[in-house]
Structure 1
Amino acid sequence: MPHSAIRMRSAMELNEAVAASETLVQRLLDGVAEIGRDPPGITRDAYGPGESRAHALLAETARGMGMEVSVDAGANLSMVWRAADPAGPPVIIGSHLDSVVQAGNFDGAAGVIAGMGVVAALQAAGVRPRHDIEVLALRCEEAVWFGLGLIGSRCLLGRLPEGALELRHARTGLTLAESIAACGGDPSKLGAPLRVPATIGAYLEAHIEQAPQLIEAGSPIGICLANPGNLRHPHIRITGEEAHTGLPHRFRRDAALAGADLSLSLERLWLAEEAQGRPMAVTIGRFFTPADRHSLTAVSGTFEMSLDLRAYSPDHLAALEPALHRVVAEVEARRGVTIDLGPRSAAAPGPMDPGLIEALAAAAGQGVPRLNSPGSHDANNFAASGVPTGMIMVRNRNGSHNPHEAMDTPDLMAAVGVMAEWLATR
C-alpha cells in the first residue's frame, strides 16, 4: 500500500469510488438546473430564491453524507467532513451557486458540486481524512447583482470594500446588508475576517473554462496558473450637449460618439499592452443612450456605459488605472464632454500557489495543459489573502454567462479525480 496522509486501500479503489460518485454529481447538477430554470437559460439570483434553494439542496445532501452544515455571517454555506483527529488546518473546496441572468448551469455550481463528489469518493474508498475537508458554497460571486463580485469570499476573508453593505440588489432593491440578513447571515460581523487565512490549509476550486483553450487542446481539464484581477466602473456617465441632428461636427458635444471613442481608445490600449507581452482584457458591458431621452433626430447629450479592466499581476493592474484616466482625459478634450467614471470596485489578481500547481499537475498526469483563466473567481480572494490556492479548469464549449454552456459531466469527474487523489496522497 502507498504511504499517504489519508489511509486508503488502493488507487484502484479510489478510481472506482470517483466513478461511482458521478451519480451524486449528476443528480446535484440536474437539481440546481431545475431550481434555476429560466428559459432560455438558468437564473439563480444571489441572496434570492434561486441561490438560496440551491444552498438548501446542497445542505440536505451534505447532512445525508454525515457532514456538518453551518451558515456564516455572510450567509455562506459550509459543509465539513470532520477528521477523527485533525493533524493540520482544513482543506477547502469551494465555488458559488449564483448565476448571471439566463446563463448556463455550470459556472460556479460545477465547482461546489465537484467538492461534494470528492467527499463522496473518498468516503466510498474507505478514506478517513487527517484534515477536515470543507465544501464551501460562497454567496454572490457574480457582480451583476450588486455591481460588486466575489461577495461571499470577501465576507469570509474581511475584504468587503467600504460602503459595500449599502449597495442595492439589482432586482429586489434591498441593500447588501438587508440581503445577507434575510438569508441567515449577520452583517454586523463583517468588519473583520470570519476566518483567519493562516488557519486554512489550502483552497481548491474547479471551474468551467471561459475561453475554449481546453477545447482547442483536446483536454478534459487544465491546471490554472492565475486568475486576473479586475478594476470595474459599473456606471460611467458621459455628459455632452443635446442638439439637432444637422449640427455640424465642429459644434457638437456628442455623448454617444464620445462613448464610442472611449471604447475604441481602450481597445487600442488593450492591443498595445498585449503586443508588449502583458495580457489583459477590456470589456464594455453596458453601452446606451438613456431610453427616456434618446431620439432618431437628436444628438444625445448623455451616454452611459460600464467598464471592466482585467490583468494578471497587481503591478500591471495598478498601472492600468492611470492609463485609463489618461484615455478619459483625452476623449473629454477631443469630444468636448465630461466623463464621470462613477463608483469603482476592484479585485486582486489570483496567482495560484506553485506547489499546488505542481501537485495537481502530478495527480492529473502527463501532458495536462497549464493555462491562465480569463475570469476572476473566489479563488482570487483566497490567493490574495495568503491561502495556498489551486484551480482546475474544466473543458466547456461556448463560454459562460450564456445559456449555451456545455460542460460534460465526465470532464468534471476528471477534476474530481485529481482533487481526490491529491487529498488521498497528501
Structure 2
Amino acid sequence: MASSLMSTQCPAPVLDAALGQRVFARLHEIGFDGRGMTRPSYGEGENRAHALFESVAWEHGLEVRRDWAANLFITIPGQNRSLPAVMTGSHADTVPCGGNFDGAAGAVAGLLVLCAWARAGYRPERDTTLIVTRAEESVWFPISYLGSRTAFGLLDPALLDTPRSDDGTSLREHMLACGAQPELCGRASVLNAADIDCFVELHIEQGPVLLEADVPVGIVTGICGSTRYRSAVIHGQYAHSGATPRRFRSDAVMAGASMMMALHEAWRQVEAEGEEMTLTFGVCQTDPAQANFAAVPGRLELVIDIRSRNEDLLERMNGLVIEQARRVESDFNVTVDLGPRTRSTPAIMDAGLQAEAEKLAASMNIPVVSMASGAGHDAATFAGQGIPTEMLFVRNENGSHNPDESMEFDDFLYGVRLLEHLLRQRASRP
C-alpha cells in the first residue's frame, strides 16, 4: 500500500462538496421532528448519525473504532504511528428542536478532510483522527462535555446514575442501549494528552459576530466557562390576590423578579467596567396546575446561566447569586432553593495554532476575524488537558439551538478548506 501513497508534500486534496451535502441531508432526515432537529444524547437519532459517519468512513478505507462510551474515532493512519496524533471533531446530538449544523458541521468537516486525503492517496506523517463525540448538549444530561470527558477518563462513575431530562432513564441505561460499556468507566483505556499533537474543532458561530463583520470564518481565541443553576425554585405561599395585602404576602414571582433584576444590574456594571460575561434566565415559570389569575404565586421555577472567559468573575457572580437569594428570602418572606450548581472551566485557545490559521487564511484569500466563543464546546476539554487546541467558526445566520440555523454551504467550504490546510500542515510534521 505504501508505494501508492502520495508524499506529504502533495497538492491539496480535493474536498467532495457533494458528499458533504449528502451527509447533511441524511442528518436532516434522521433528526427532523416536524419543526427542527432532535437527536437526543445517547438516543436513536444520535446512534443513526454515528452510524452514518462510520459507513462513509468504511467506504473510504479509513480506520474506525469506538471507545467504552461509544464515542466514534475515524483515523487515517500516519507513516509514523508513534508520533502524537492530530485530531479534529465535534458532536452529532442536538438540543430539542435545534438546527442541523450545530456540532454536525464540525463532524462533517473532519469527515470530508479525511475522505479527501484517502481518495488522493495522501498519507500524513502522523495519525489524523476525527472524533465524533457523544452527548455534548448538556440539556439532556446536566454534565458539560460528557462525550469528550469520557474519552479522557474524566467522568465520575457516580454520574452514570444521572437521569436524562426527557425520560428519566439513567445515563448508564442509555449507554447500554447504545452499545456502550458503562461498567468500564474508570477502568477502560482512554485518550492520553501526551499522544495528541493538537485538536482543531470547526463549528458554526452561534451569534452574530461574523455576520456583522461580513466574513465567513472566525478564528477563536477562547471559550467561555459557565456557572449554572438548572433547577432553582422559589417557594412562597399561594394566597387570594384581592384579599391579601402586600405585607402578608410571600410572593415567589416578585422575589424572583427582584433577584433577576439585581443580577442583571450587576451584569450591566461588569460590562461598564470593561469585563465580558453573559447572564440568562432561560426558564422562568409558575406552576401551571396551581397558578392562576386570582392568586398570589406560591412557587417559581427558574434557571440561571452565567458565562465568561474570566473564571474569577464567574466565581464572583456565583457568590452574588447566593447573596441575592438570601436577600429576597428576607425581603419577600420566601425560601430560595438554588439546587445543585454545575459549571465548566474557561479555555484559552493555542496562540501558535491561531497564528498558523491566520497565516493560512491569508494565503488562501479567506477573510477571517479573531473572536471569542460565548458557548461551550468539546474543544474546551482538550484544552483543559493541556493539548494545543483551536476552533474555527463558520458564519451562520439566525443563531443556534433553534431550527432556523442558516449556514451557507459556500461559507462552510471556506471553513473546511482552512481546516484541511491546518490539519495537513500539522500532520505533515515529522
SS state of the match for residue 60, structure 1? helix
2-side partners of 1:107 and 1:358: how far apart? 25
SS of residue paired to 2:169 = coil
Alignment match of 2:52 (pick from 44, 48, 57)? 57
For the pair 1:266 / 2:266, whether they are aligned, the reply is no
Residue in structure 2 matched with residue 245 of structure 1 by the alignment: 241
Unaligned runs of 5+ in 2: 1-5
Whether 1:363 and 2:364 are equivalent positions in the alignment is no
Give TM-score scaled by structure 1 length.
0.93
Superposition deviation, residue 425 in structure 1: 2.5
The residue that corresponds to 1:347 in the other structure is 344
Aligned to 1:180: 175
Of 219, 230, 255, the residue aligned with 1:234 is: 230
Distance 2:130 2:210 in 1: 26
Corresponding residue for residue 3 of structure 2? none
Aligned counterpart in structure 1 of residue 19 of structure 2, from 18, 24, 41: 24
**Residue 29 of structure 2, aligned match among 25, 30, 34:** 34
| 8 A contact 2:236–2:299 mirrored in 1 | yes
In the alignment, is the contact (CA less than 8 A) between 1:121 and 1:420 conserved in 2? no
Deviation at 1:147, TM superposition (A): 2.4
The partner residue of 2:332 within 317, 335, 339 is 335
Give 1:356's aligned amino acid: L
Corresponding residue to 1:315 among 304, 312, 315: 312
Q: Distance in 2 between matches of 1:229 and 1:418?
A: 26
What is the CA–CA distance in structure 1 between the aligned matches of 2:65 and 2:332, rounded to whole Å? 55
The answer to whether the aligner puts 1:85 opposite 2:80 as a matched pair is yes
2-structure distance, mates of 1:380, 1:225: 12
User: After superposition, what is the alpha-carbon deviation per residue over 1:18-73, rounded to whole angstroms, capped at 9, x for unaligned?
Assistant: 3xx21111111111111001121111111111111101111111111111111111
Q: 1:123 to 1:214 in 2, by over 3 A?
A: same
Deviation by residue 1:191-212 (Cα, 9 ceiling, x = unmatched):
3772122221111111111111
The CA deviation at 1:317 is 2.1
Alpha-carbon spacing, 1:234–1:379, altered in 2? closer, same or farther (3 Å): same
1:414 aligns with 2:414: yes
Against the structure 1 CA distance between its residues 346 and 163, is the aligned structure 2 distance closer, same or farther, given a 3 Å change threshold? farther
Q: Give deviations 1:125-147, integer Å, cap 9, x for gaps.
A: 44211111111111111111122
Instruction: Write the letter of the residue equivalent to 1:84.
Output: Q
2:208 is matched with which residue?
212
AA of the residue aligned to 2:291: H
Mean CA deviation greater in 345-354 or 83-92 = 83-92
Deviates more, 1:373-382 or 1:390-399: 373-382
Which whole-Å CA distance do the structure 1 matches of 2:424 and 2:143 have between them?
37
Shift of 1:189: 2.6
Q: RMSD across aligned C-alpha pairs, in angstroms?
A: 1.8
Question: 1:270-289 counterparts in 2 under 5 A?
Answer: 270-289=267-286
SS of the residue corresponding to residue 412 of structure 1 reads: helix
Give the secondary-structure state (helix, strand or coil) at the position aligned to 2:111: helix
Structure 1 distance, partners of 2:70, 2:156, is: 18
Distance 1:37 1:419 in 2: 28
Q: 1:101 to 1:272 in 2, by over 3 A?
A: same
CA contact (8 A) 1:141 1:377 kept: yes
Question: Secondary structure of the equivalent of 2:373?
Answer: coil
Aligned equivalent of 2:160: 165
User: Which stretch of the first structure deviates more once superposed, 121-130 or 72-81?
Assistant: 121-130
Does the 8 A contact of 1:8 with 1:125 survive in 2? Answer: no
- Which position in structure 2 is the counterpart of 1:148? 143
Q: Distance in 1 between matches of 2:58 and 2:120?
A: 19
C-alpha distance after superposition, 1:234-263 (max 9, x if no partner): 100111111110222222110111122222
Distance 2:323 2:116 in 1: 54
Aligned-pair CA distance for 1:161: 5.0
Residue 63 of structure 2 contacts residue 74 of structure 2 at CA under 8 Å; is this kept in 1? yes
Q: Pick from 89, 95, 107: which aligns with 1:94? A: 89
> Offset of 1:162 from its aligned partner?
6.8
Cα offset, 1:93, TM superposition: 0.8
Q: Tell me what 1:385 maps to.
A: 385
Q: Distance in 2 between matches of 1:194 and 1:232?
A: 28
Is the Cα contact below 8 Å between 1:6 and 1:425 reproduced in 2?
no
Residue pair 1:42, 1:101 contacting (<8 A) in 2 also: yes
Distance change (3 Å), C-alpha of 1:250 and 1:161 = farther
Deviates more, 1:67-76 or 1:97-106: 67-76
Contact 1:153 1:381 in 2 (8 A): yes
State the distance in 1 between where 2:416 and 2:31 align.
24
TM-score (norm 2): 0.93
Match of 2:165, SS state, is coil
- 8 Å Cα contact 2:61/2:118 also seen in 1: no
| 1:279-315 deviation line (CA, Å, top 9, x unaligned) | 1111112211112221211111111111111110222
Deviation at 1:424, TM superposition (A): 2.5
Bigger Cα displacement from structure 2, 215-224 vs 186-195? 186-195
Shift of 1:320: 2.2
Return the offset for 1:6: 6.5
Runs of 5+ consecutive residues of structure 1 not aligned to the other structure: none
Amino acid corresponding to residue 172 of structure 2 in structure 1: A
